[in-house]
């Protein structure tokens, strides 16, 4: 369904309910709003529903926003992401059970870990980032669209470990990404809060600093350098204004998707689901099978899958000619059929790229069924662009 059609189908009944006085139903239909929502509206952003949130798709040109992040610096409102704080003496032990990756790898405070949270069948409930703040304090950042099931799962599993699970709905988050992002972020933050500039400047990738009024992580979802910054709502609105005044371009969900697609970063619900394991989703590197006695949820299912052999794999596709690959299109290989999980046009490469789940033995060439035509494509690694440069042969 086209986004414009989807917006109309949501807006029409909402307007009717408002006119007939059913305002309580209007509130249920309308999406949640981040603290920066009014800023986006005033900037004439195209607002769409995303995981139950009213979010900016773009501010005029998705293509310009994409290039701004690759060449300069862009900023994204990612306040719809769910921040969850975990407290308790057994928090580390709990996370070693909950996550497929091992938080014991986090040996210095502030370090971060990317992991999947699995069900007993080895399927992915969600992917997330875990931060080690203190021995009895860890922070998770999980996806917006999976918030309800994530919170229910985490809370249920935490009961046996006496871990306090606290969601942080008051937190706003801004991602500043691009080759000049860190410089602009630091200079803008100095206008709002007191912090150790040298400490932030020297922050290593996948590390964070937790302060009284801020949380600054050197992480992102674009394949570029930058920060993800958690602040209270008022501070976040002020930071957005300072960043924009400094020349950092506001960017929406559209550019965020093409950037992550180029960078080879999975999207939950497309490239991994509750019915696919990390071994089938190019995420084997996120599973810590050592130590052998760490019995994380889903481990036995993954070990069985390793013994039996994985039948499919997630790969990248580069379309050889004109056209655009999209999710759910059929992929034909010499070893059988597969399916595109994510696809689109790459602004950096000026070609269509995609991820696809295909038979394990397939390699080399394949065809993709686009509008009843079989178009040639090349099977590649998942990462297409990093730090503004192509990492595959065109």
Question: Would you state the structure tokens that stand for residue 242, as one six-digit string?
Answer: 């300072």
Cα–Cα dist 145/129, whole Å: 15
- For residue 158, is it within any domain? yes
Torsion, CA 282, CA 114, CA 392, CA 57, rounded to 10: 100
7 and 77 within one domain = no
For residue 237, the 8-state DSSP code is H
375 and 274 within one domain = no
Contact 128, 138 (CB under 8 A): no
- For residue 3, is it within any domain? yes
Cα–Cα dist 277/234, whole Å: 40
Calculate Rg over the CA atoms of the chain.
21
Cα–Cα dist 219/217, whole Å: 6
The β-bridge relationship of strands 164-167 and 171-177 is unpaired
291 and 364 within one domain = no
316 and 297 within one domain = no
Cα–Cα dist 379/377, whole Å: 7
36 and 23 within one domain = no
Any idea what the CATH number is for the domain that residue 58 is in? 3.30.1360.120
Strand order in the sheet with 124-134: 112-118, 124-134, 137-142, 82-87, 164-167
How many C-beta atoms surround the C-beta of residue 84 within 10 A?
A: 20
76 and 19 within one domain = no
- Residue 258 C-beta-side C-alpha neighbours within 13 Å: 28
Instruction: Domain of residue 89: give its range.
Output: 32-301
Cα–Cα dist 125/340, whole Å: 21
Torsion, CA 268, CA 274, CA 276, CA 278, rounded to 10: 70
Q: How confident is the model at residue 343 (pLDDT cuts 50, 70, 90)?
A: very high
343 and 260 within one domain = no
Residue labelled with tokens 């999976």: 146
Contact 258, 63 (CB under 8 A): no
Contacts of 393 (CB under 8 A, 6+ apart): none
Task: For 22-70, write each residue's pLDDT tens digit.
Answer: 434 444 456 899 999 999 999 999 999 998 999 999 999 999 999 999 9
pLDDT value for 30 = 63
37 and 26 within one domain = no
- For residue 306, is it within any domain? no
Among 5-9, 109-113, 172-176, 205-209, which is the least confidently predicted range?
A: 5-9
SS3 category, 305: helix
Task: For 96-105, write each residue's pLDDT tens digit.
Answer: 999 999 999 9
Task: Give which of 323, 316, 312 is closest to 366, Cα–Cα.
Answer: 316
287 and 161 within one domain = yes
pLDDT value for 31 = 82
- How many domains does the chain fold into? 3
Question: Would you state the structure tokens that stand for residue 55, as one six-digit string?
Answer: 């979010």
255 and 386 within one domain = no
For residue 388, the 8-state DSSP code is T
Q: Is the pLDDT of residue 3 over 50?
A: no
Mean pLDDT of 202-217: 97
* Predicted TM-score of the model (pTM): 0.91
Any idea what the CATH number is for the domain that residue 369 is in? 2.40.30.110
151 and 226 within one domain = yes
Residue labelled with tokens 């709990």: 94
- For residue 160, is it within any domain? yes
């Amino acid at each position: 369904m086209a986004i414009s059609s989807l917006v109309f189908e949501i807006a029409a009944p909402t307007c009717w309910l408002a006119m007939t006085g059913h305002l309580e139903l209007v509130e249920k239909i309308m999406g949640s709003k981040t603290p920066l929502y009014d800023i986006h509206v005033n900037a004439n952003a195209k607002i769409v529903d995303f995981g139950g949130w009213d979010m900016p798709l773009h501010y005029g040109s998705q293509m310009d926003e994409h290039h701004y992040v690759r060449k300069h610096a862009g900023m994204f409102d990612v306040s719809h992401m769910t921040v969850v704080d975990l407290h308790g003496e057994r928090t580390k032990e709990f996370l070693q059970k909950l996550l497929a990756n091992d938080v014991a790898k986090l040996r210095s405070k502030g370090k971060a870990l990317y992991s999947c949270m699995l069900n007993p069948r080895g399927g992915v409930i969600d992917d997330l980032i875990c931060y080690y703040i203190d021995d009895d304090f860890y922070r998770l950042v999980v996806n917006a669209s999976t918030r309800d099931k994530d919170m229910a799962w985490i809370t249920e599993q935490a009961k046996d470990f006496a871990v306090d699970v606290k969601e942080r709905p008051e937190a706003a988050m801004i991602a500043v990404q691009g080759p000049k992002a860190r410089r602009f972020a630091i200079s803008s933050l100095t206008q709002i809060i007191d912090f150790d500039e040298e400490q932030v400047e020297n922050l290593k990738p996948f590390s964070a600093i937790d302060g009284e009024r801020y949380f600054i992580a050197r992480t992102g979802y674009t394949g570029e350098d930058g920060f993800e910054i958690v602040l209270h709502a008022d501070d976040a609105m002020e930071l957005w204004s300072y960043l924009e005044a400094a020349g950092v371009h506001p960017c929406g969900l559209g550019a965020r998707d093409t950037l992550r697609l180029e960078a080879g970063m999975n999207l939950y619900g497309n490239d991994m689901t509750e019915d696919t394991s990390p071994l089938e989703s190019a995420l084997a590197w996120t599973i810590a099978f050592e130590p052998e006695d760490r019995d994380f949820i889903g481990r036995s299912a993954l070990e069985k899958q390793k013994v039996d052999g994985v039948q499919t794999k997630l790969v990248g596709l580069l379309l050889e000619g004109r056209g655009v690959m999209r999710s759910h299109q059929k992929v034909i290989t010499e070893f059988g059929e597969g399916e595109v999980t994510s696809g689109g046009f790459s602004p950096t490469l000026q070609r269509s790229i995609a991820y696809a789940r295909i038979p394990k033995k397939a390699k080399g060439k394949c065809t993709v069924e686009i509008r009843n035509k079989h178009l040639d494509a090349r099977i590649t690694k998942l990462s297409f662009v990093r730090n503004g440069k192509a990492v595959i042969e065109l």
